[in-house]
Amino acid sequence: MSAQLSRVNQKLYFARLLLADMAADGDPRRQQLAGESLLFQLRLAYHFHLRDIAASYQCRDVSGVNDAASLARALEAIDKSPAEAREIDTLASSPGSWLNRLLVAWEQAFAPPEMGSSAIQEGLIPVARVEMEVLDAATLGAWHRALTELVERHREVMVEC
């Protein structure tokens, strides 16, 4: 069993726990906290799943796989082009797909905030409003289900490798 596989399982489990917390707490700031934390866990699960694919196909540099493009390069280096990698590449590059939206939300989470009229004064520290996709429980739950289904389907195929 790949070390990546257990990390994927762990991150999907943590995401499921955060979804339950998000559903149970009505405080808007706690909702945002849980949403961003859940996004982090989903992105890590995706990251480790890419590396699990690379390890399953015996790529030389599994640690260099960080996104769909680096997975494709690692597989190309060993003359392989599995359907799993093509599917991920299609999902990641298709605007509006659940994976593309997850990755865009991830990028937005790291975008520098705009300081200006939208800053809120909280004590002595101004807090910037960060514009990003709404990370509500329904959206994040759908992404979690889609990623879990993708991982399970890919694992079934990779067992045959």
CA separation for the pair 93, 103 (Å, rounded): 10
Q: Return the SS3 of 10.
A: helix
- How many Cβ atoms are within 10 Å of 80's Cβ, its own excluded? 14
Q: What is the pLDDT of residue 154?
A: 95
Give me 27's structure tokens. Answer: 């405080």
Identity at 73, one-letter amino acid code: R
Identity at 3, one-letter amino acid code: A
CA separation for the pair 147, 161 (Å, rounded): 21
Q: What is the pLDDT of residue 48?
A: 97
Give me 120's structure tokens. Answer: 């809120």
Match 């890590």 to its residue by tokens. 44
pLDDT tens for the chain, 161 residues: list them: 578 899 999 999 999 999 998 888 778 888 888 899 999 999 999 999 999 999 999 999 999 999 999 999 999 999 999 999 999 999 999 999 999 999 999 998 887 766 554 555 555 565 555 555 568 899 999 999 999 999 999 999 887 65
Kind plus residue range of the DSSP H or E element containing 51: helix 28-56
- From 71, 62, 86, 61, select the one nearest 157 (Cα to Cα): 86
Give me 43's structure tokens. Answer: 């992105």
CA separation for the pair 22, 32 (Å, rounded): 9
Give me 70's structure tokens. Answer: 């680096």
CA separation for the pair 131, 99 (Å, rounded): 19
CA separation for the pair 144, 98 (Å, rounded): 10
